[in-house]
Amino acid sequence: MSLRHHERTIRQMFSTFTDFNSEISALSDFMTPDYRQRVDGNEMTLDAFLRHANALRNGLRRLEISIKHVVCESDRAATVHLARAIRHSGECSLIKVIAFYEFREERICLVDELTHVLEGGQNDKALGSLQ
């Protein structure tokens, strides 16, 4: 698989993740069935990740992700991205995310993330693993 494909997969997954009109199940197309995601020490399976995506859609008006840096090598990739969460109240949070990805058979099998709240309250740190 080409390195450009890894970057394209990440960007398409984020596009689906932040499109609150898309089907949650469409996110499964980007992940392996045994997908694992670690966020600030919390681990999620694919089912837990889909619940997380649904919880964000229910709790937010909009979510925007802006990739600042992406590096791809072999079956791995890393991003530094900003997540802007806009609540129904209009309140905004800005979270910096450093993420490492592993790919298997053209799909993401692991994401390991650390988050840092740039704008908002410390409760916003929980947005990365909200259920």
Tell me how far apart the alpha carbons of residues 129 and 37 are, in angstroms, rounded to a whole number. Answer: 9
Provide the pLDDT for residue 121: 74
Give mean pLDDT, residues 1-5: 68
Of the candidates 126, 123, 125, 102, which has an alpha carbon nearest to the alpha carbon of residue 112?
A: 102
Q: Got the DSSP string for 40-61?
A: TTEEEEHHHHHHHHHHHHHHEE
Provide the pLDDT for residue 128: 59
Helix, strand, coil distribution of the chain in percent, nearest 5: 35, 50, 15
* Structure token digits, residue 48: 């837990």
Q: What mean pLDDT value characterizes the chain?
A: 92
Q: What percent of the chain has pLDDT over 70?
A: 90
Q: Is the pLDDT of residue 14 over 60?
A: yes
Residue reference for tokens 């919880």: 55
Provide the pLDDT for residue 68: 98
